[in-house]
Amino acid sequence: MELSTTTKIRGRKAGWSDELIERIEASAATDGQVENLARGALSEAKIAGWLDFLEHHPDNPFAKAPFNIFQTPAETGLKATPGPDGLRLRDINIGSYGVVPDTWHLPNDAPRGTESTGQIMAAGYSIFDKAEVWSENAVDLYEDAIKDRWIPATELDWEHGLADLPEELERAVGQICTVYSNNGLVEQKIIGRWLEEISYGFHEVKLFLATQAFDAGRKVEVLRKRALINGGGLGQAPLGQIYRGWYQGLTFTDMLIALNVAYKSYEVALFESAAEWVHTDVERTIFERLACDSRRHLDYGLGHLEWYARYKPEAERRLQIQFLRAEAAMVQEMRLSTAEREALIVLMAGGVENLQAGVEKLKTLRQRQYDAYLDNLASINFDRPTPHPGLSSQISDPLEGGIVAVRAVSRN
C-alpha cells in the first residue's frame, strides 16, 4: 500500500520519519486508517506502537478500526479557562461553539458546534428560531441556580425554627403553602412539556428550564412540609384558573409571558415581602430562598421578552393581547379563589381579631406587586400601556369577586 501524498504530508508535519512511513506502507494498515491517524497528528511513537499491535494481533477486531474519531468536523484547539466561580457554561462558549445561530439547522440531538456525520434521525422539536426561546442571561442563570441550590430536608431548622401558633395563623400558613405548593406542581408540569419542543442548538435554554423544573419541585416539597410539620395541615386547593392562563400560552413565548413574567412578578413580590407577614424563622427562610429561586425564573422571562420584542417583527401586535390574557387569568384567580387572599389577610393582621388591618396591608401588597410587575417590564423597556384593570382594582378593593372577561378591556 502506498500512502497518498496528502497523508504523507500530514504525517511528516506530525513528525513521522521516512522510516516510519516505509514501515506503514509495508504493513497491513489501510490508507484510510493512516489518513485518519495523520489527521489526528499522532506522534511517531504512537504510530510505531500501533504498527506493533497490527503485527502481533492481526485478527483483533480493532486491527481494522477505521479511526474515524480523528475525522472531526468541529473546531479543535480551543481550551476553555475556568473563572473564579469554576468552569461555567459561559466559559466554554468559545470559538464556533459559542455562536448561537438565529435559526438552528438540525432536527436531531447533535450538539451545537459539531455536525451530524451520517444519517440524521429527526426529533419532534418545533422551535428552531432563536427569537422564540432565547435570553442572553440563560447561560448564567443556569449556573447560578446550581450555585444557589438548597435542601429543605436538612438546611431548615425544623426543630427549633418553628413556634406554636394560634390555630387560625397556623391554618393560614398552611393555606398559603397549599396554594403555592400546588402552583409549583403545575409549573413543573408546564416547563417539562416544553423541553421536547426546543431544539438542541439552544441548549442553554433547555438547561436553564431544567433548573426551573427542579426549583418548582423543591417549592412543592418545602411548602408541603411546612404545611404539615406544625400541626396545621393543607387547606383549600386553589381554583386553578391561573393554570389555564399558563396553558393558554400556545407558543413558548406566550407561556413564558403568563408564567415567568406576569405570575412570577407577583410571586416574587409576595415572597420578598414575606418577612412582614410570617411568624416563624422557618417561614422567613423558606420564602427568602423561594424568592431567590423565583427571581431567576423572572429574570429569564424578562430576558426572553426583551429578546423576542427586539427580534420578532410581529411582537408589538402579538404580545399585548397575550399579556392581557395572562393578567386576566391572574385576576380571575384572585377574585374567585379567595382562600389565598383571606389567608394573607389573617397573617398580615396577626390573627382574626382585626381583619380590616389585614385588608389594608393586603392593599399595600397588591400595590407593591402591581408596581413591581410594571417596573419589571419597564426595566427591559417594554411598554404595557393598559394592563388589565382587574389588577389595579385588586389594589383598591382586594376583596372584590366575580368573573371578568378578557375582551372587556381589549382596545379592539
Partner 1 sequence: MATIQHDVPGINLDWLNVDTDQDMEIETGRKGLTLETINQLTYGVDDRDEARQRQWAPRGAAADPRSPSNSIQHLSKADVWTESAMLLYEEALQRQWSSARDIPWDTIEELPADLEQAMCTLCTFLTQVEFIAGDVPGRFLEQIHPEFFESQLFLGTQLMDEARHLDVFRKRTLINGGGMSGAGLGAVQLLGSDDFTEMTALLHLVGEGFVQTLFRMGELIAQNEAEKRMFRLSAQDESRHLAFGVTHLKYTVESEPWRTEELHHILDMQEALLTQSQQTSLTTNPLTGEALAILSGGGIEHLDEGYNMVMLMRKKQFVEYAHRLEVIGLDRTDRFAPEVRALVGEEN
Q: Which of residues 247-276 bind partner 1 (CB under 8 A)?
A: none
Q: Tell the smallest beta-carbon distance from residue 198 to partner 1 (Å).
A: 8
Q: Tell the smallest beta-carbon distance from residue 26 to partner 1 (Å).
A: 18
- Which run of H or E residues covers position 267? helix 264-272
C-alpha distances out from residue 102 to 112, 128, 137, 326, 341, Å: 13, 8, 16, 28, 44
Q: Cα-Cα-Cα-Cα dihedral of 298, 299, 305, 311, to 10°? A: -160
Query: Of the listed pieces 17-25, 214-222, 364-372, 374-382, which binds partner 1 according to CB under 8 A?
Result: 214-222
The reply on whether position 292 binds partner 1 by CB under 8 A is no
Applying the rule CB under 8 A, the residues between 161 and 180 that interact with partner 1 are 167-168, 171-172, 175, 178
Give the binding-site size for partner 1 (rule: CB under 8 A).
134
Applying the rule CB under 8 A, the residues between 370 and 409 that interact with partner 1 are 399-401
Least Cα distance to 111 among 126, 124, 90, 93 occurs for: 93
Q: Tell the smallest beta-carbon distance from residue 23 to partner 1 (Å).
A: 14
The reply on whether position 110 binds partner 1 by CB under 8 A is yes
Cell of 382: 417594554
Applying the rule CB under 8 A, the residues between 305 and 364 that interact with partner 1 are 336-339, 342-343, 345-346, 352, 355-356, 359
Alpha-carbon span 241 to 41, nearest angstrom: 63
- The only residue of 49, 102, 103, 383 in contact with partner 1, by rule CB under 8 A: 49
Applying the rule CB under 8 A, the residues between 125 and 164 that interact with partner 1 are 142-143, 146-147, 149, 151-154, 156, 158-159
Read off φ and ψ for residue 342, nearest 5 degrees: -70, -40
* 3-class DSSP state of 307: helix
Q: Tell the smallest beta-carbon distance from residue 167 to partner 1 (Å).
A: 6
Cell of 116: 451530524
- Which run of H or E residues covers position 308? helix 281-311
Query: Of the listed pieces 113-121, 128-136, 312-320, 322-330, which binds partner 1 according to CB under 8 A?
Result: 113-121
Applying the rule CB under 8 A, the residues between 181 and 210 that interact with partner 1 are 181-182, 185-186, 188-196, 200, 203, 206-207, 210
DSSP line for 132-173: GT--TTHHHHHHHHHHT---HHHHS-TTTS-----HHHHHHH
Tell me, rounded to whole angstroms, the distance of Cα 64 from its chain centroid.
45
Alpha-carbon span 272 to 388, nearest angstrom: 23
The reply on whether position 224 binds partner 1 by CB under 8 A is yes
- Which run of H or E residues covers position 375? helix 355-379
Residue type, 397: D
Read off φ and ψ for residue 127, nearest 5 degrees: -110, 110
Applying the rule CB under 8 A, the residues between 70 and 109 that interact with partner 1 are 70-80, 82, 85-89, 92, 94, 97, 108-109
Q: Tell the smallest beta-carbon distance from residue 362 to partner 1 (Å).
A: 11
Provide CB contacts within 8 A for 59, sequence distance 6+.
Answer: none
Q: Tell the smallest beta-carbon distance from residue 43 to partner 1 (Å).
A: 7
Q: Tell the smallest beta-carbon distance from residue 96 to partner 1 (Å).
A: 9
Q: Tell the smallest beta-carbon distance from residue 156 to partner 1 (Å).
A: 7
Closest to partner 1 by CB, 378 or 399: 399
Query: Of the listed pieces 64-72, 291-299, 312-320, 375-383, which binds partner 1 according to CB under 8 A?
Result: 64-72
Least Cα distance to 14 among 41, 36, 46 occurs for: 41
Query: Of the listed pieces 16-24, 110-118, 299-307, 321-329, which binds partner 1 according to CB under 8 A?
Result: 110-118
Q: Tell the smallest beta-carbon distance from residue 260 to partner 1 (Å).
A: 16
Alpha-carbon span 350 to 168, nearest angstrom: 9
The reply on whether position 44 binds partner 1 by CB under 8 A is no
Alpha-carbon span 293 to 86, nearest angstrom: 21
Closest to partner 1 by CB, 150 or 311: 150
Q: Tell the smallest beta-carbon distance from residue 266 to partner 1 (Å).
A: 19
Based on C-alpha coordinates, what's the Rg of the chain?
29
The reply on whether position 62 binds partner 1 by CB under 8 A is yes
